[in-house]
Amino acid sequence: MSDSSKRMGNPSDIEHLAKLLDGRGNLRDRLDEAFTRATNLGVRDKLSSLKPMMHWTDDTAIDLRRRAAILRAEDGDPRAAALYAGFKPEDVKGATLPPEAMLIANASVAGGDKFDAAWLKRKPGETYQDWLQRIPGDAVAKISGNENLGEVVGDYINITALASTVPGAFKMAASGTMHLIKYFKNGTFLKAPGTTLAQILKGRAPSYIPARIARLGAGIGARTPSSILSALGGSDSLAQIHGGKLWAWEANILKVGKNVGAASRVAGASRFGAFASGAGAALRTAGWWRAAGIGGSIVATGVGAFDVWQEGNPVDAFKRDKAGYVAKVSGVAFNASLTAAMIAPNPVTIGAAVVTGAVYGVATIVDNWDTVKKFPGKVADAGAWAGKKIGEGAGKLADGAKSFGKAIGGLFG
């Protein structure tokens, strides 16, 4: 395709053509349906001449999207690199793209045949999140010409992600276990995860919080207007009246919302009015901190579930990467159970969060263990390479200075 034909193309039209080939309900789906029906009728061999079309639709759709991505890259579309990699527009809709990596990736795509953009292409079974983690390291390797340096960047991203997720999973497993033991042994109430700060400010800090911090937090809470404290940490009065609990962090906010909604209906409110009253009471009982935690956990669950879905067939995905797939699935289960525990703390939801948190933490460590082990050696090699390059640069600078000095001396000698 010449440069002039590229500029004349419309990427949206090309992507629409690709969707007609492999989009839901289009050519590829109809071919699958035809083969399924033929198999059920025992006449699959009659369609053997059509079998190459299945691969053709997949390959052609990917090629069309890559051509459209080149056009988008020329126009500065930040999604171009992901589309060139083989992802569909719906896969990257609303996604946050790292600007540094996308700048380099899009430059490779926009360069067309002048640059090798094969490093951008999606690998078998690679999800969008996997691709986003891989691209920064590969981009560094591409620019520096040093593959090890690129691996150091990629490994650093993975280890950083490990350090930000695994401790939280293990903390939930440990604290949840402790609370369950106290619940069954002493009959104490279970609290929603993520409400520790509200407890501290209201003078009810958990026993594992240092006494000095507990006193300081209680003092700050005592000087904070009660309306603000309730808005942030949850309304204890609503929890007592409609949830049957003494403190907001113990309340099932769905139960509170249901009870308030039912009371509103009895008072003559419409269905919508009752729903609005119930939802408002649930949010006020949860407080801003808890509500934000629930929202974030729901988003994490959705992102993780989409990531697992992109892996394709579970059996094939497990064969490709056993520890990695278990880590992803257990991550979705952990975030889902954590969401449930934050909404309705009870032995079932807390217990589920404990189990899934432990599995997720262990699986993630196993999946990244080789990376953690090899990382120090890779960093040392990258440092040696950097030192060599700096030395070469200093040598060239010195040689340049000598040449400049000789030239000056020749002028005035």
Q: What are 211's two structure tokens?
A: 């006494």
CB 51 within 8 A of CB 40: no
CA nearest neighbour of 253 among 341, 348, 351, 354 = 341
Q: Is residue 190 within 8 Å of residue 345, measured between CB atoms?
A: yes
Q: In sequence order, what DSSP letters do the residues of 270-301 get, joined into one string? A: -HHHHHHHHHHHHHHHHHHHHHHHHHHHHHHH
- Taking only the tens place, the pLDDT of each residue in 14-48 is 878 888 887 777 787 787 888 888 888 887 787 77
Query: Does this model's pTM top 0.85?
Result: no
| pLDDT band, very low/low/confident/very high, at 404 (cuts 50, 70, 90) | very low
**pLDDT exceeds cutoff 50 at 184:** yes
113: pLDDT strictly greater than 50: no
Who's near 149: CB < 8 A, 6+ residues apart? 140, 141, 382, 385, 386
Q: What tokens appear for 370 in the block?
A: 């080789």
Least confident of 16-20, 176-180, 214-218, 370-374: 370-374
DSSP state of 47: G
Kindly indicate the confidence band of residue 3, based on its pLDDT and cuts at 50, 70 and 90.
Answer: very low
What is the C-alpha to C-alpha distance for residues 90 and 74, in angstroms, rounded to an integer?
21
C-alpha radius of gyration, the chain, whole number: 29
Asked whether 227 and 236 are in contact (CB, 8 A), the reply is no
Q: Is the pLDDT of residue 114 over 70?
A: no
Q: How confident is the model at residue 1 (pLDDT cuts 50, 70, 90)?
A: very low
Domain ranges of the chain: 3-119, 162-373
Angle, helices 51-74/27-41, rounded to nearest 10 degrees: 170
Residue 342 has pLDDT above 90, yes or no: yes
pLDDT for 382 equals: 60
Residue 341 has pLDDT above 90, yes or no: yes
Task: Spell out the residues 6+ positions from residue 26 whose beta carbon is closer than 8 angstroms to its own.
Answer: 19, 20
Angle at which helices 226-233 and 271-310 cross, to 10°: 50
Distance CA 105, CA 333 (A): 33
Dist. CA 218–CA 231, nearest whole Å = 17
Residue-wise pLDDT tens digits, 128-168: 778 877 877 777 777 667 777 767 777 777 777 777 788 88
Mean pLDDT across the chain: 80
